[in-house]
């Protein structure tokens, strides 16, 4: 006879697998902190065009994730899964809003600079 796992044990299993992956890939996660992109970003000398490309690329992926989460939510049979997927999609949409705010700030700042210098 199969038993249904208790919610707390499911959460523990999920936390356990995340922890195992962080431990397993610790070296890779540390190395990622020292890529030229991250080092230049942290030092404040990342070329603006490189950063713009990063933002554009991130927006592309975030839109794809938002669409995938929407489709997954429609296909989910379990109400708890739908809530979880909806939360993931909401977080992605918030990230997209943050990117949009940043782009508006940068464009506005750039235009203001152009007006000040007469360009």
Q: What is the pLDDT of residues 12-28, one digit of tens each?
A: 566 788 899 999 999 99
- Residue 116: what pLDDT? 57
Residue 96 located in a structural domain:
yes
- Can you say whether the dihedral through the CA atoms of 55, 58, 64, 67 is positive or negative? negative
Evaluate whether residue 35 is within a structural domain.
no
Contact 24, 41 (CB under 8 A): no
Q: State the total domains in the chain.
A: 1
What digits encode the pLDDT tens for the residues 60-98? 999 999 999 999 999 999 999 999 999 999 999 999 999
Burial of 46 (0-12, 13-18, 19+ CB in 10 A): middle
Q: Is residue 29 part of a domain?
A: no
Per-residue b/e over 51-81, b at no fewer than 16 CB within 10 Å?
Answer: eeeeeeeeeeebeebbeebeebbeeeeeeee
What is residue 14's predicted lDDT score, i.e. its pLDDT? 63
- Residue 93 falls within a domain, yes or no? yes
Is position 86 within any domain? yes
Please give the pLDDT value at position 56.
86
CA 86 to CA 94: how far, in whole Å?
12
33 pLDDT higher than 90: yes
Residue 109 lies in a domain: yes
Does a structural domain hold residue 7?
no
pLDDT at 112 over 70: no
Which one has a higher pLDDT value, 1 or 112? 112
Q: What is the mean pLDDT of the chain?
A: 83
pLDDT at 110: 59
Structural domain span for residue 60: 47-117
**Does residue 94 belong to any structural domain of this protein?**
yes
Q: What is the model's pTM?
A: 0.65
């Amino acid at each position: 006879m199969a038993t249904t796992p208790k919610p707390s044990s499911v959460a523990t299993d999920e936390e356990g697998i995340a922890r195992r992956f962080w431990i397993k890939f610790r070296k890779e996660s540390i190395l990622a902190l020292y890529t030229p992109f991250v080092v230049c970003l942290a030092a404040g000398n990342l070329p603006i065009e490189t950063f713009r490309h990063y933002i554009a690329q991130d927006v592309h992926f975030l839109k794809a994730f938002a669409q995938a989460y929407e489709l997954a939510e429609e296909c989910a049979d379990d109400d708890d899964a739908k809530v979880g997927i909806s939360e993931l999609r909401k977080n992605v949409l918030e990230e997209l809003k943050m990117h949009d705010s940043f782009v508006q700030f940068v464009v506005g700042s750039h235009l203001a600079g152009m007006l000040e210098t007469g360009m």
